[in-house]
Amino acid sequence: MNRAAAFAAASGLVLVREGKALALSDDGKKAVAAIRKEKLLEDEALFLEEIGKFTTEQVVEQIMKMEAF
């Protein structure tokens, strides 16, 4: 997850806020729109939608620190 976040930030797709929060940049929003328009990564989006229901801030922090949860 850390590598994906670093890659997205280096590519200009996300902005890093306060050293820990990520937000889509304008380019990131355009990329998401293009992906959705072409119906790419639909299975991945469904998976993330499902696990998102169970993902808390604490779980994300543990993942980012590579801790067991």
Where are the domains positioned within the chain? Answer: 2-64
CB 2 within 8 A of CB 65: no
Alpha-carbon distance of 2 to 20, in angstroms, equals: 11
pLDDT of residue 7: 94
Element (H, E) at 17: strand 14-17
Model confidence pLDDT, tens digit, residues 19-57: 778 899 999 999 999 999 999 999 999 998 998 888 888
What average pLDDT does this structure show over 60-69? 71
According to DSSP, the residues that pair with 22 across neighbouring strands are 16
What average pLDDT does this structure show over 4-25? 91
